[in-house]
Amino acid sequence: MKYNKIIEGIFIKRPNRFIAQVRIHGEEETVHVKNTGRCKELLVPGVKVILEDCSHQRNRKTKYSLIAVWKGDLLVNMDSQVPNAVVFEAIAKNKIKGLENINYLKREVTFRRSRYDLYFESEREKGFIEIKGVTLEEEGICMFPDAPTERGTKHVLEMIEAVKEGYIGILFFLVQMKGPKLFQLNWQMDPVFSEAVNAAKEKGVQVIAYDSVVVENNIQIGDPVEILLIS
């Protein structure tokens, strides 16, 4: 997933979950934040951020969108809209182990009351993939979620029903940075979601985690990350 035009800035503050104040070329600008999560460990006053120039888009209230942030020497993409595109592209190019040679791949397909990010078919199987972007990292361990997610829990529980009906069910955690050695559920933040994922795993839902190769203007699939689900 490549961004056409980017620019650097310095993060000042985040008045609400939709916007931030960023210094660009010495001037303070109001920018759109493409992630409604808390991201408190990332958006610290004074950190360098990467923005997408969206001035060519009509009917926008802000010229820029905040898409990535430097956490020390680690560049973290925090665009919540990008994981679906990254995983879609990776599957289409046979880069995900166990999901090679997919014949049909479609975005946003509904099963019962849930709309899943991807639907796929191969010669012998068909299934749904729910994708979660991961930006929370502490000492080489990445975690999800960074805030309680009732919607995420609903998706997970209904995926169990899809598996019962013969579909393949996959929860795909895309870590939006390079290098973490372990992915685990954030039991302290959302024990209900975490328990739902464990229950889904026991019922046959597959859980996958990959990191990403992130540069200022691009993010692509990286390598599998070890998973620890039990608290």
| Cα three-residue angle 66-44-223, rounded to 5 degrees | 65
Which domains, ranges and CATH numbers included, belong to the chain? 6-77 (2.40.50.580), 82-228 (3.40.1350.60)
pLDDT tens for each residue of 46-96: 999 999 998 777 778 899 999 999 999 999 999 999 999 999 999 999 999
Q: Which tokens in the block code for residue 100?
A: 């090679």
Confidence of residue 231 (pLDDT cuts 50, 70, 90): low
Confidence of residue 21 (pLDDT cuts 50, 70, 90): very high
Name, in order, each residue with C-beta under 8 angstroms of 57's C-beta and a sequence gap of 6 or more: none
Q: How many Å apart are CA 70 and CA 45, to the nearest integer?
A: 12
Which residue's structure tokens are 């190019």? 93
Confidence of residue 200 (pLDDT cuts 50, 70, 90): very high
Whole-angstrom CA distances from 136 to 126, 140, 141, 154 are 31, 10, 8, 22
Q: Facing residues of 215 across strands?
A: 218
Which residue's structure tokens are 């579909």? 167
Q: How many Å apart are CA 79 and CA 67, to the nearest integer?
A: 5
Name, in order, each residue with C-beta under 8 angstroms of 25's C-beta and a sequence gap of 6 or more: none
φ, ψ of residue 94 in degrees (nearest 5): 60, 40
Amino acid identity for residue 126 in this structure: K
The answer to whether the peptide bond before residue 145 is cis (omega within 30 degrees of 0) is yes
- How confident is the model at residue 107, as a pLDDT? 94
Predicted TM-score of the model (pTM): 0.94
